[in-house]
Amino acid sequence: MISVSNVSMRYGSKVLFEDVSTTFIAGRRYGLTGPNGAGKSTFMKVLTGEHDAQKGSVVRPRKMGVLSQDQYAFDAYRVIDTVIMGNKPLWAALEERENLYNKAELSDEDGIRLGELEGIVGEENGYEAESDAAILLQGLDIPDELHERKMSELQGGQKVRVLLAQALFGDPDALLLDEPTNSLDLDSIHWLVEFLLKYRGTLITISHDRHFLNAVCTHIADIDYQTIITYSGGYDDMVLQKTSVRTRIESQNEEREKKIAQLNEFIARFSAGTRSSQVNSRKKEVERLATTELARSNIARPYIRFEMNRPSGKHVLEVEHVTHSYDGVQVFKPFTSALMRGDKVVLIGRNGTGKTTMLKCLLQGMPDMASYGLEKDFERTGGVVKWGHEAQIGYFAQDHTGGIQKGTTVSEWLHSFDPKKTTEEIRGILGQMLFRGEEGLKKTDALSGGEAARLLFCRLMLEKPNILVLDEPTNHLDLESINALNQALQRYEGTVLLVTHDEDLIDEVGTRVWHFEDGQVTDHKGPYAEYQQQLAMTK
């Protein structure tokens, strides 16, 4: 259990949350939600003890598992040791025991201390530590051959999964996970969901994955209106309850304001007359009916709408025996397929199986792709790609930092793609994606990951392509922006190729699946749910 009493945090004049008192109970799984900038990560750091609250106190259990955000902190250690470090008392005992055994001679005191350390190791299940850590790593797709390697030898996504295993290790009383699904593929997310559903301690997680929150959480602790309100159920349940409460209060206020207006009219008419007792009675009634003051929500909802200048031809794309290799190693076997106008293809599979490489193979040689961030020197190893008549492509690169020119402003950069647009039209598009007022003058060098993603969507809305190729577009978006993207892609009448691990996007947008596994690409002409059923029948 974690208990919070009268906790407040503010930065300058901005209040994140004020006098928050709440209890996170063992056996419950809490999603910590709120828009970007609401204070989710700050509150999580207060819970872990990394930050002190400016006011109030926090009571924590002895053993907490915390997902580390520093990918480089453990570069000098073996992967297996990094996981075991998640149990701090055990790791401290193992290190001290190792140092004592490395002594040339042991004193009597050393011998007594060794006995004490062996007791700690036994109590903390230290003799099974490496096998338990290996099981966690295997579930998160870190193969056995990497367990003895140094963390510095791993890729970024692999490091994240090792740090997640570290947080889960040692059966902690509470788990605090900030964006645990970042850099995880769909299979790893499914494994994590199953693991967390069996967890019996207190879980608090921040996530921008709506499907994950709905699958895992028994409660949602929502940061808004400068406080934290806990709702029962998953994310969708919270949205319904929150909307219902807000609507009810607004309706009650509307009725009260009508009644107050009537009473004030009576007071104004008869205050100078002989009905003073009735006037005083009405004044007291006005005071009693004072409307509940509604704190302002800090949720900001972008509006995304993808349109087309003109539709493409009926036959959008033909792929014949396309393959690619790096350093002589084949990423995927020759793949042949054809897309029709309106197909919405989701590319799924483990990280590193070739999804991004496939998109690069398809886009190679198409005009303007370098301005979207596609490297100029990429060349597919083999096969033929034929785009259809009137194909106009908009591309969202997974690493989109190279797609936004530095040294200019947000407004100037966007205007450069259609100089004929008026300043008001450019401002309108930027406003839809929450670049309002002075935000349009922000330097592109200073954009956060989420702001850069929203600016790229502005470009796609401005240029109105009839084909959207999107590689992990949700990585830096909050839940409101992801929901807006989901709805926009469902409404879009063009063709979509989408790499994502967001299961709601896969379920609700995709009409077709390209599945990457063991060097093979399977083309399923139907939605993801249907493909899952087909896979289940073959097992």
pLDDT of residue 251: 65
Rounded to the nearest 5 percent, the helix, strand and coil shares of the chain are 45, 20, 35
For the chain, the average pLDDT equals 88
Which letter does DSSP use for residue 314 in this model? S
> Residues 320-359: pLDDT tens digits?
999 999 888 999 999 999 999 999 999 999 888 999 999 9
pLDDT of residue 292: 52
Max CA separation in the chain (angstroms): 105
Query: Considering the chain, what percentage of its residues have pLDDT values greater than 70?
Result: 94
What is the pLDDT averaged over residues 208-220?
A: 94
C-alpha to C-alpha distance for 138 and 131, rounded to whole angstroms: 10
Residue 274 banded pLDDT, cuts 50, 70, 90: low
C-alpha to C-alpha distance for 34 and 42, rounded to whole angstroms: 12
Question: The pTM is what?
Answer: 0.79
What is the pLDDT averaged over residues 192-215?
A: 92
pLDDT of residue 450: 84
C-alpha to C-alpha distance for 332 and 357, rounded to whole angstroms: 9
Which letter does DSSP use for residue 115 in this model? H
> Residues 106-140: pLDDT tens digits?
888 888 888 999 899 898 888 999 999 999 999 88
pLDDT surpassing 90 at residue 183: no
φ and ψ at 389, to 5 degrees? -60, 135
Task: Answer with the residue of higher pLDDT: 298 or 311.
Answer: 311
Contact between residue 261 and residue 274 where contact means Cβ atoms under 8 Å apart: no
Name the one residue in this structure whose structure tokens are 């839809």. 432
pLDDT surpassing 60 at residue 494: yes
